[in-house]
Amino acid sequence: MSNLWGKCVLQFFKYAPSYVVCLCFLPAGFIYGYTICAFIAERHLDGNLIDYGPLILGACLALVTALGFLLLKYLKKCIVYWHPLLLIGAGVFNLIASCFYFADGFDHVGAYVSYVAHSLTFVAGYAFLLTISSKESRALLLSGCCSCYLMGLASAVSLIGASYVQNVNAYAGQTPTTEQLIDGIYVNFAATYLSISAVMLAIVIGLKVLHVLGTVDVSNSLDNDVRIANANGSIFEPRAEVIKRLQFFYVTRNQQWHVTLLLLFTEAIQYALFIYLVFWFALNDAMRLTQLAHVDAMFWVVFAGSVLAVACLRFISAKVQFVGTQLLLLLITVLGMIIYGTTGSKVTFWLLLLLFGLAYSSQQVVLLEVTHLRFTECIIFGSYTLKLLSTGIVYYYFVANASNSYFYARDENTLMAQGFVFMIITALVALVVGMKVPRTHRTKLLDIQYEVYGIIFMKHQIEQLNVRWLNDGTIPTISQ
């Protein structure tokens, strides 16, 4: 029994840094939940830059952080794990920001400070988990980050939404102004945000202390090949040098940047669809899924889908999971349109939200796995910025304009047209990801790098080659 306990303790401390980084995404989700709620509650106010300023600041700071890591990698010729220090800094900013939400009229100030922490968490958190994890745990941990993020999002919507409904009930029968309805709605959110920020800051500082004491290791990867390559300086070896060094069977065209940029584009589109549907199901009278008092239920369903995604990634690849989910989205959308058109039932649309939660982390996982290790933080910055840009564009062009005849339409023909547009976009995204993303399930990071480089030397790839092409020279054997 003591031997079993000792093994459990060793395993816990082995993965403790990864678990802590996943939990760091919980306050980040709280921040984004505030943004969603503020956009909805304050959509009739002319905020302009005040509304979008925190998003812009977050994107700018993410760029500075990414460029800082890129410069560090060029200077050191290896990955330097300063990510926990940045997460400590994010914890400090979270703690400071939470205090501003207690006072009426200062929540926008808190939002600016919060998005400093938000951007640091995204860039440092994802980059750390990508390179520190083993091939068995990498996809699970990255997906776990997304689940923690969505749990924070749903929690923030629950807290702010409950306070907003109290104000609505208090002014029942009257015509209150928007300022009266949003008065004090962030206080409960602030108290919870403060508590979580304090606990997470203490945990991250404790993790750093344990690293100094030698109990945990936050500077060496659990992937043996990555750890060795990082130690000997070959982690960022150019493709041409890799081709010279490796015993390969076949070399094709380098697809890394092509695949990466395609995934960035499709991820932005998929995220914009998610944000659009969240706003649509909450604000459009014809498509509203719940009463205002229970609008947080939508986000809890999305969170449930993300938890299911973590379980699924234990057995299938992120690529298969994403493409399968997209096909289910198409099927459920068709059923939803038929059922809604005949009976008026919206039950199937809840399944759409569950499937969005199931697909939420898949593209993030495959995007990070195929990314060039030298530019990991830069690609995360691109992904992060496109998410914020999608949020801002959807809000500006659809939500903020109360007279938008497309977003707020109630007639059946317009609603069906939106369903068909959604199906077309979903089909194209599934097709692109299914065709372009290579196999990454439980594969070492460097092997994934070689595959997107076009270096074929693994058995399953050799079996798929057309031998006749090789014999008659139709496909060149070397293409640098």
Strand partners, 455: 251
Collapsing DSSP states into helix, strand and coil, what is residue 456?
strand
Please tell me the predicted confidence (pLDDT) of residue 467. 52
177 vs 44, 121, 279, 296, 386, CA distance in Å? 10, 36, 21, 23, 33
Please tell me the least confidently modeled range out of 4-8, 45-49, 197-201, 308-312: 45-49
**% residues pLDDT > 70 (the chain):** 90
Rounded average pLDDT over 432-443: 85
pLDDT classification of 468: cutoffs 50, 70, 90: low
Contact assessment for residue 304 and residue 360, using Cβ atoms and an 8 Å cutoff: no
Rounded average pLDDT over 430-446: 86
Greater confidence, 50 or 440?
440
Greater confidence, 473 or 56?
56
Rounded average pLDDT over 405-429: 84
Greater confidence, 369 or 289?
369
Residue type at 437 in one-letter notation: V
Of 297, 425, 313, 417, which is closest to residue 354 (Cα–Cα)?
297
Q: What is the pLDDT of residues 314-352, one digit of tens each?
A: 889 899 999 999 999 999 988 988 888 888 788 888 999
Please tell me the predicted confidence (pLDDT) of residue 406. 80
Please tell me the predicted confidence (pLDDT) of residue 478. 44
Please tell me the predicted confidence (pLDDT) of residue 19. 93
Q: What is the pLDDT of residues 47-62, one digit of tens each?
A: 565 578 899 999 999 9
Contact assessment for residue 292 and residue 165, using Cβ atoms and an 8 Å cutoff: yes
Greater confidence, 474 or 447?
447
**% residues pLDDT > 90 (the chain):** 42
pLDDT classification of 480: cutoffs 50, 70, 90: very low
pLDDT classification of 479: cutoffs 50, 70, 90: very low
> Which pTM value belongs to this model?
0.91
Greater confidence, 425 or 2?
425
Contact assessment for residue 130 and residue 369, using Cβ atoms and an 8 Å cutoff: yes
The 3-state secondary structure of 184-224 reads CCCHHHHHHHHHHHHHHHHHHHHHHHHHHHCCCCCCCCCCH
Q: What is the mean pLDDT of the chain?
A: 85
Greater confidence, 401 or 436?
436
Retrieve residue 3's tokens.
Answer: 């031997």
Instruction: Evaluate if residue 123 carries a pLDDT over 90.
Output: yes
Q: What is the pLDDT of residues 108-119, one digit of tens each?
A: 889 999 999 999
Residue 388 CA, chain-centre distance (Å), reads 11
Report the alpha-carbon distance of residue 399 to residue 312 in Å, rounded: 34
pLDDT classification of 164: cutoffs 50, 70, 90: confident
Report the alpha-carbon distance of residue 174 to residue 45 in Å, rounded: 19
Of 140, 132, 458, 438, which is closest to residue 315 (Cα–Cα)?
140
Please tell me the predicted confidence (pLDDT) of residue 113. 93
pLDDT classification of 463: cutoffs 50, 70, 90: very low
Residue type at 173 in one-letter notation: G
Contact assessment for residue 365 and residue 380, using Cβ atoms and an 8 Å cutoff: no
Instruction: Evaluate if residue 440 carries a pLDDT over 90.
Output: no
Q: Give residue limits of the domains in the chain.
A: 2-472
Q: What is the pLDDT of residues 205-248, one digit of tens each?
A: 999 998 888 888 888 888 888 999 998 888 888 888 887 777 66
Instruction: Evaluate if residue 474 carries a pLDDT over 70.
Output: no
CATH class of 2-472: mainly alpha
Rounded average pLDDT over 40-45: 71
Q: What is the pLDDT of residues 4-35, one digit of tens each?
A: 776 777 777 888 899 999 999 999 999 999 98
Please tell me the predicted confidence (pLDDT) of residue 20. 93
Please tell me the predicted confidence (pLDDT) of residue 186. 86
